[in-house]
Amino acid sequence: MSILNATQSIAPPAVSGSLRRQCLFAVTILLVEDSRAASEAIRLYAAESGARVRRADSLGAASRHLSVYRPNVVIVDLGLPDGDGIDLIRQLASASTPLTSIVAMSGQDRTTWHAEAMAAGAAGCLEKPIASLRTFQEAVLAVLPDAESRRRPDERELLLSGRATVRAALDEDLRRAQGLLADALPAGDADTVAYCAQFLQSVGEMLGDLDLAVVARGAGTVSGAGELARIVEARLERRPGQFVA
């Protein structure tokens, strides 16, 4: 089945009255994001807002998801392991049955991607790190056709640092990057090193680990990636439960 040909919808679960009052109640989101830690942070924001998230970690996985169901909103990170998220945005927006509630997301300088994402068909943009629960809610509400009938965003704060699920997801991201770098550095694989640097910069920015983000930003070449490998190893050697934020 081709992408966006699906008509299956997700039946809403039984919920309490308090959940029904949340501003994103019953909204289904496909999150296209390769970082487990960033995905877990967004999942927590969505759960607090009454929305449900399915995650795809690549363009290929996103296509498979979209062949069997149609979400209300798609959030697309632009730096993916098998291609550019801009291509997926363009494909969704130009399909025979277009999906228009698309949010482009990136941790890069907004001036380098915002205009291209909007031209490709995104209806909104979300910068990483996501500043607050309200920022997430406003970005999703902005692309929903029924936004005017929904409750306004929350003023509550949702602290992510220290959460066991976020820490576990972060460690999975770090182990993945460690494995990729261990293979790429001896082989001089510049493309994989550049991907790891972009990936870890995004993870660091999303979770407030500024040291990791700064090192990753300057480590996009094979010659500069040794320090990145060392900081990844140091993060994985932290005491259980320690969280950098």
pLDDT per position as a tens digit, 96-152 = 999 999 999 998 889 999 999 999 999 999 998 898 899 999 999 999 999 888 888
Q: What pTM does this model have? A: 0.84
Residue 186 burial (10 A CB sphere; 0-12, 13-18, 19+): exposed
Question: What would be the CATH architecture of the domain defined by 17-149?
Answer: 3-Layer(aba) Sandwich (3.40)
Q: Are 85 and 79 in contact (CB under 8 A)?
A: yes
Q: How far is CA 142 from the centre of its chain?
A: 17
Q: pLDDT over 90 for what percent of the chain?
A: 66
pLDDT band at 2 (very low <50, low <70, confident <90, very high): low
Can you give the pLDDT at residue 24?
A: 94
Residue 52 one-letter amino acid: R
Higher pLDDT, 165 or 84: 84
Model confidence pLDDT, tens digit, residues 45-86: 999 999 999 999 999 999 999 999 999 999 999 999 999 999
From residue 55, alpha-carbon distances to 17, 176, 209 in Å are: 27, 17, 23
| Residue 233 scores a pLDDT above 70 | yes
Domain ranges of the chain: 17-149, 164-236
Residue range 190-212, pLDDT digits in tens: 999 999 999 999 898 888 888 99
What is the rounded CA–CA span in Å between residue 61 and residue 57?
6
